[in-house]
Amino acid sequence: MVKKVLKFGGTSVGSIDRIQHVAKIIEKEHKNGNQVIVVVSAMSGKTNELLNLSQKISNNFSKRELDVLLSSGEQITSALLAGALINLNVKAKSYLNWQIPIITEGEHTNARIINIKTNEINEYLKKKGVAIIPGFQGISTNGDITTIGRGGSDASAVALAKIFKTDFCEIYTDVDGVFSSDPKKIPIAKKIDKISFDEMLELSSLGAKVMQSSAVQTAMIYDIPLEVKSTFTNREGTKIFGQDNIDYTKSVTGVAYSKDDAKITLIGVEDKPGVAANIFEPLNESQVNVDMVIQNISSDSRTTDVTFTIKRDDLLKTKDIFKKNNNINFEKITYNDNVAKLSIVGAGMVTTPGVTYKMFRALADEKINILAISTSEIKLSVIINEENILNAVKKLHTVFDLD
Amino acid sequence: MVKKVLKFGGTSVGSIDRIQHVAKIIEKEHKNGNQVIVVVSAMSGKTNELLNLSQKISNNFSKRELDVLLSSGEQITSALLAGALINLNVKAKSYLNWQIPIITEGEHTNARIINIKTNEINEYLKKKGVAIIPGFQGISTNGDITTIGRGGSDASAVALAKIFKTDFCEIYTDVDGVFSSDPKKIPIAKKIDKISFDEMLELSSLGAKVMQSSAVQTAMIYDIPLEVKSTFTNREGTKIFGQDNIDYTKSVTGVAYSKDDAKITLIGVEDKPGVAANIFEPLNESQVNVDMVIQNISSDSRTTDVTFTIKRDDLLKTKDIFKKNNNINFEKITYNDNVAKLSIVGAGMVTTPGVTYKMFRALADEKINILAISTSEIKLSVIINEENILNAVKKLHTVFDLD
């Protein structure tokens, strides 16, 4: 007997047929004698449908009421799935977050789970019941419904796995697992069997949307092994766990990319303490998310050049900030709104010499110009022109033996 | 300053435009300095949509989970309406039933409200906040979500009016009020300005679907005056209150009818104690709803004839019961599956001589045959062939001066 959290995403429960299919997956786990806690997302499209309703009223819809509104999506799935299980003669029960309760702190639409009461559900599991819990939500300490951000059902699953001390946390989705790159765009991309938390984090923050980053982060902190697998096949998924347990034969695990970026370079910025803060403070205040930041070595001792990337949608806003703000001194500003970020990720990179060179050589062979470079221990990112991105991903895939 | 419950039905909140329109009605009440508790139904079509989802899984879907599922409908409306009010700068907040709480007893899908905690909402009303409450639901004493039956939002509104001791309980709907007959079928039907609880009960149980009967019953017991009015016009609605306060100038208030009935007559039933119980017990067990029951005077001292009406859909089931059940002795059974019930309702009937005769004469003038008759203090019902029903309603309307 093992204790498991199974989490099913929106496409996995996107129709009644699919909910009945999910019920059969759970029935099998239950028949194997496992204690099962199930976390569900809203049926695919549902959250957007509800969000659209609120936006017809106001783009500044009350966040408290938005949480009440959106939480109904997972509530609906929970009831339908519990009903489907009962129909299969599996003892099951939906537990809404206030019934458990799952307590959160922080703002509406962006809360964090801080506590989950376990007694009643543990009793129910011992009596061979399956507990179905709506993901993505909780209640605040003063009893309001909260949600924990888009994709938050992953975070719910990991938090439940942690607090219920389960042996497994399985994330069921519509793909076979985590891929070396986006399989829809890069057909030669391959499913990764095992990956470390760090690599997964780099991959997911770079555009591999299989799992929500903050959930992976929590799993990493509390060392909760995850498995991402498909609801629709019986194949093994991708196991995600601590780096110590992974035997690396490859230096690079995956190639990630994000499009719709823009690059901004401030030339001739005064090189003295506090300048970087002056540059990024107004961006932060205007909620412009800054991704890569590269400060080149000063060409003289007095000034330096600062390059950073943002989402292309934020470019107009950003231009405006630099026009209006007199706190920032620079000689010239240049924009490129047609760039993409390309990254290779691998926990083995740091111990494998020549990875950096190999990447640059591969791009040079394809005559792809590199506009900026940034590195970390397990990641190497470059900014290139957007039109080259798919070509570059394929090339790196081959060069690093991921096909 | 008065304290009011305003209840808005499914069509009144059937779209975002309509929800915004409802928000303006509430805004006006709020600006007038009134304390307002709002009860909402699910957006029209929503409850059926959710019900259909459950039925795709099973026609015997878990009732506990059905309540979790269906309650999401009113939750959605509550959040949208609260958001719309906040957008109009009206202080407002959705209160889900578990947050209040509204406590119910009885079975899932058919619970009854037994208690409502008032402190927090009263505090909120005093601070000039509008409380938005999902109708049709509650929680059981052990913390499960319950619902109180289709149309139960009326019952929620009346229960809230009672427990919060409000001055008014206004039921907003898609018609101007209670009509002397169904205005869609009988164009000469007229809106009734004032009606007693008893009359309203007779009318609503006879097919005038403006308000749910059990809610009217509760209002009658606790003497809570109601007003049924249109969300979409500014016209006065129908005021419903105790008989003492109504000055009757007309003997008959309305003409009601129900179609899709079937009439069954058992001829030569043994006339001794316990026979009626023997007849109706198996019908009750099979959930066949018996409407009118007429026992004719025995033609001899030994046997009698019993006539009763049921919904036409239950006819096959009923025939079966009488075929199989040996406890019931009768000579012959006859069926008529093509009948309708026609009723005149009026608290003034009992004091006005000749109402009965006038009705029979009017039907005779139209050459409509009466198949059975049943009377109460404020109602006179007859069974006639279905094809004559609209003709009969119009005739009675004219005869009793309701046009």
Amino acid in position B41: S
Are B160 and B34 part of one and the same domain?
yes
- Crossing angle, helix A63-87 and helix A16-31, to 10 degrees? 60
Number of structural domains chain A divides into = 2
More confident residue, B208 or B184: B184
Residue A371: pLDDT band (50, 70, 90) is confident
Are A82 and B66 a contacting pair at CB < 8 A?
A: no
Output the domain CATH number for residue B27. Answer: 3.40.1160.10
Q: Return the SS3 of A278.
A: helix
User: pTM, whole model, 2 decimals?
Assistant: 0.80
Residues A7 and A148 both lie in one domain: yes
**Residue B207 predicted with pLDDT over 60:** no
Indicate the pLDDT class of residue A206, thresholds 50, 70 and 90.
low
Please name the member of B58, B83, B96 whose beta carbon is closest to the beta carbon of A83: B58
Assigned domain for A278 exists: yes
**Residues B272-307 pLDDT 10s:** 777 777 888 888 888 888 888 887 766 666 788 888
Instruction: Answer yes or no: do B28 and B124 share one domain.
Output: yes
Q: Is residue B314 part of a domain?
A: yes
Based on the domain organization, do B268 and B381 belong to the same domain? yes
pLDDT of res. A389:
92
Which pLDDT score is estimated for B249? 66
CA dihedral A225, A228, A233, A234 (to 10 degrees): -10
Domain boundary among A174, A193, A222: A174
Rg of chain A (C-alpha set): 23
Q: What residue of A is the nearest CA neighbor of B84?
A: A57
How many A×B Cβ pairs under 8 Å? 109
CATH of the domain at A391: 3.30.2130.10
Q: Do residues A158 and A21 both lie within one domain? A: yes
Q: State whether B11 and B113 are in the same domain.
A: yes
Confidence of residue B153 (pLDDT cuts 50, 70, 90): very high
Would you say B65 and A28 are in contact if contact means Cβ atoms under 8 Å apart? no
In a domain, A338, yes or no: yes
The answer for residues whose C-beta is within 8 angstroms of residue A31's C-beta and 6 or more apart is: none
Ranking A179-188, B69-78, B358-367 by mean pLDDT, the lowest is: A179-188
- pLDDT tens-digit profile of B223-277? 999 999 999 998 999 999 887 766 666 778 888 888 888 999 888 888 777 777 7
Q: Which residue has the higher pLDDT, B37 or B380?
A: B37
pLDDT band per the 50, 70, 90 thresholds, residue B213? confident
In a domain, A316, yes or no: yes
Select the residue from B62, B91, B97 to test the A interface by mutation, using most A Cβ atoms within 10 A. Answer: B62
Report the SS3 class of residue B83: helix
- Domain final residue pick, A174, A207, A229: A174
B155 and B300 in a single domain? The answer is no
**Same-domain check for residues B18 and B122:** yes
Who among A20, A68, A71 is closest to B57 (CB)?
A: A20
Range of the domain at B85: 3-174
Q: Which of B220, B155, B207 is nearest to B180 (CA)?
A: B207
Residues B382 and B135: their CA atoms lie apart, in Å, by 36
Q: Are residues A33 and A169 in the same domain?
A: yes
Given A174, A190, A205, the domain boundary residue is A174
**Residue B33 shares a structural domain with residue B170:** yes
Same domain for B170 and B30:
yes
Percent of chain A whose predicted confidence (pLDDT) is above 90: 51
Residue B15 C-alpha, separation from nearest chain A C-alpha, in angstroms: 9
A333 CB within 8 Å of a chain B CB: no
Confidence of residue A134 (pLDDT cuts 50, 70, 90): very high
With a CB cutoff of 8 Å and minimum separation 6, the contacts of B83 are: A54, A57, A58, A61, A62, A65, A66, A69
Token pair of B151, please? 């149309």
Query: Is the ipTM of this structure higher than 0.95?
Result: no
The model's confidence at residue A189, banded by pLDDT at 50, 70 and 90, is: confident
Q: What DSSP designation does B5 have? A: E
Residue B58 inside a domain? The answer is yes
Residue B267 falls inside a structural domain: yes
Position A245 scores a pLDDT of 65
pLDDT of residue B300: 65
Within 8 A of B46 by CB-CB distance, chain A residues are none
- Residue A247: predicted pLDDT: 63
Contacts of A15 in chain B (CB under 8 A): none
User: What confidence category does residue A39 fall into, taking pLDDT thresholds of 50, 70 and 90?
Assistant: very high
A399 sits in which H/E element: helix A389-399
Residue A118 in any domain: the answer is yes
Does A250 reside within a domain?
A: no
pLDDT single digits (tens) B344-363: 988 777 667 778 888 888 88
Same domain, A25 and A155: yes
